Amino acid sequence: MPAPAIELRGITKRYPGVVANRDVNLRVESGTAHAVIGENGAGKSTLMNILYGMVVPDEGEILVEGATIPMSSPADAIAAGIGMVHQHFKLADNLTVLENVILGDEPTGRVGRIDFEAARARIVELGDHYRIPIEPEALVADLSVGNRQRVEIIKVLYRGARVLILDEPTSVLVPQEVDELLKNLRRLTGDGLTVIFISHKLDEVLAVADEITVMRNARTVAHTRPAEITSRELAQLMVGSELPTPEPRTVEVRPEVGLRLRSVSTRGRGHETSLSDIDLTVRSGEIVGIAGVEGNGQAELIETILGLTDPVSGQVLFGEEDVTEAATSVRRRLGLAYIPQDRHREALLLDAALWENRILGHQMHPPINRGVWIDRKAAREDTERIVADSDVRTPSIEVLASALSGGNQQKLIVGREMAGDPRVLIAAHPTRGVDVGAQAAIWTRLSAVRRAGVAVLLVSADLEELIGISDRILVILRGRLVGEFDPAAIGPEDLGAAMTGADAA
């Protein structure tokens, strides 16, 4: 039997206060697709970063094709034939696809001049060979998420990697893109390459992986094959308990309108998509899901409702109140809540204490607001309440938000946004990057919010989530709402087809 492509032995990595990996062992055979699964915080990403040289382990060794190699930087990994596609793409937006691909391994002529012709030819050739077409001269900023991922894969292949690590590659893709990706992965393993990928989605894992390693609580707890296990059993290995499922719909939608957009159009600047003629009604006590491939106007839709983008025509109403001209602060005061996709960028002041983060977005609401003043005592008290109610694990409300883990940050944000008795809630990918336990908690929260009569607009790429908790699903494509579906009567595949415009064609 040949030496495995990759073997990790006794990897341990400690961070201040936490052990991310504890005596982790992993064996990946050459030419296979190997899935590493586990809850968020189980240590998968740390492990992959160790394998890619971005994190140096405290103990343990890494063997590539049977030989121990030093791994202190990505350069070492690249030299050993290992490449990585990160969950958050590592691309420079203002550079072209070609520049991003060749970065760090440029074909150069005399005195360091880049041989652009050679680079272009090689990229096109790689694209043809693996059937991953990309446009070398395009600016990355102009690319869709799926195309960016292709750039990332080409980037790795361009370096002649024999082992590809993909960190949650499907979380940002629509079903058709996922299919495309999985097909590509199979082609890669068919060519003798080795693929290691991290995933949450067990059906994908079962469909594409040759072998599966399960991690829990910083350890590898199981090693198995798809044929030997069901997704239920896998889930139980991951969390040690039942897999949560979205609650069924039990609540009556009320007749009053929470949020309404009347033929809203925007003019997109730069790379933004223009919204055209959006008509949208979310009633109190209703969750309306927005499905769509990323970059089709979801961000602009949210911005318009938040009041950060002014529509060129149309109206935005909260209930009967026309807020088209109203500032974000006014909309907030009228009961708008927002759980953003990128919590670091949009929802948190990372360098401020938790209780100060509690104020954010509520600086004009009681109990925190008292005229021009901020009631710090009330803010602290209410933060204590959220920490207790939402099980935010923190030693104190005085710690900086940056010190919390992602799941706890998200719980704090959800708790905060719910605090003001909102009328309208926009939830953008509320469970992305959140572990299974927290995911269930957030779904429960959303359902509770609906019961309380809030109009919820749920923007998500997770079709299971959309189908599971939405009352209605609208599909957005190139800035237009192109279809409305009953979640009870539609499957992910149909939805995916609508999202890509395949059904319209």
**Residue 367: is the preceding peptide bond cis (ω within 30°)?**
yes
Task: Give yes or no for residue 243 binding other proteins (CB under 8 A).
Answer: no
The residue within the footprint of other proteins, chosen from 210, 272, 277, 346 (CB under 8 A), is 346
The residue within the footprint of other proteins, chosen from 106, 247, 381, 384 (CB under 8 A), is 106
Q: Cβ 266 to other proteins, closest distance in Å?
A: 17
Distance CA 139, CA 135 (A): 9
Backbone angles phi, psi at 402, to 5 degrees: -65, -20
Backbone angles phi, psi at 150, to 5 degrees: -60, -40
Residue 215 or 481: which CB sits closer to other proteins? 215
Q: Which stretch binds other proteins (CB under 8 A): 98-106, 202-210, 290-298, 311-319?
A: 98-106
Q: Evaluate whether 394 touches 407 at the Cβ level (below 8 Å).
A: no
DSSP 323: -
Residue 387 or 463: which CB sits closer to other proteins? 387
Q: Evaluate whether 139 touches 92 at the Cβ level (below 8 Å).
A: no
Encoded one letter per residue, x for contact with other proteins by CB under 8 A and - for no contact, window 200-219 reads -----------------x--
In single-letter form, the type of residue at position 452 comes to A
Which 10-29 residues touch other proteins, going by CB under 8 A?
A: 15-18
Task: Give yes or no for residue 182 binding other proteins (CB under 8 A).
Answer: no
Q: Cβ 74 to other proteins, closest distance in Å?
A: 5
The residue within the footprint of other proteins, chosen from 190, 255, 270, 489 (CB under 8 A), is 270
Residue 113 or 225: which CB sits closer to other proteins? 113
Task: Give yes or no for residue 221 binding other proteins (CB under 8 A).
Answer: no
Which 394-413 residues touch other proteins, going by CB under 8 A?
A: 394-396, 398-400, 402-405, 408
H or E element, residue 70: none
Q: Cβ 338 to other proteins, closest distance in Å?
A: 6
Task: Give yes or no for residue 227 binding other proteins (CB under 8 A).
Answer: no
The residue within the footprint of other proteins, chosen from 227, 351, 488, 505 (CB under 8 A), is 351
Task: Give yes or no for residue 358 binding other proteins (CB under 8 A).
Answer: no
Which 436-495 residues touch other proteins, going by CB under 8 A?
A: none
The residue within the footprint of other proteins, chosen from 369, 381, 468, 492 (CB under 8 A), is 369
Closest CA to 170 of 85, 289, 273: 85
The residue within the footprint of other proteins, chosen from 393, 448, 493, 502 (CB under 8 A), is 393
Task: Give yes or no for residue 222 binding other proteins (CB under 8 A).
Answer: no
Q: Evaluate whether 200 touches 170 at the Cβ level (below 8 Å).
A: no
Cα angle 429, 150, 126 (rounded to 5 degrees) comes to: 170
Residue 259 structure tokens: 């949020």
Closest CA to 339 of 445, 263, 255, 248: 445
Q: Cβ 494 to other proteins, closest distance in Å?
A: 33
Task: Give yes or no for residue 255 binding other proteins (CB under 8 A).
Answer: no
Q: Cβ 109 to other proteins, closest distance in Å?
A: 10
Closest CA to 278 of 479, 491, 16: 479
The β-bridge relationship of strands 369-370 and 455-459 is: unpaired
Exposure string (b/e) for 119-133, b if CB count within 10 Å is 16 or more? bbebbeebbeebebe
Q: Which stretch binds other proteins (CB under 8 A): 1-9, 243-251, 365-373, 467-475?
A: 365-373
Q: Which stretch binds other proteins (CB under 8 A): 223-231, 258-266, 274-282, 370-378?
A: 370-378
Residue 98 or 212: which CB sits closer to other proteins? 98
Distance CA 344, CA 505 (A): 39
Residue 200 or 362: which CB sits closer to other proteins? 362
Encoded one letter per residue, x for contact with other proteins by CB under 8 A and - for no contact, window 70-89 reads ---xxx--x-----x-x---
The residue within the footprint of other proteins, chosen from 23, 29, 59, 105 (CB under 8 A), is 105
Q: Which stretch binds other proteins (CB under 8 A): 27-35, 63-71, 345-353, 481-489?
A: 345-353
Which 133-162 residues touch other proteins, going by CB under 8 A?
A: 155
The residue within the footprint of other proteins, chosen from 222, 239, 374, 378 (CB under 8 A), is 374
DSSP of 164-229: EEEESTTTT--HHHHHHHHHHHHHHHHTT-EEEEEES-HHHHHHH-SEEEEEETTEEEEEE-GGG-
Distance CA 489, CA 171 (A): 24
Which 419-438 residues touch other proteins, going by CB under 8 A?
A: none
Give me the residue label for tokens 């990128």: 342
Q: Which stretch binds other proteins (CB under 8 A): 188-196, 202-210, 286-294, 359-367?
A: 359-367
The β-bridge relationship of strands 287-291 and 472-477 is: parallel
The residue within the footprint of other proteins, chosen from 121, 363, 385, 493 (CB under 8 A), is 363
Burial class (CB in 10 A: 0-12, 13-18, 19+), 408: buried
Cα angle 303, 307, 313 (rounded to 5 degrees) comes to: 90
SS3 68: strand
Task: Give yes or no for residue 504 binding other proteins (CB under 8 A).
Answer: no
Residue 1 or 373: which CB sits closer to other proteins? 373
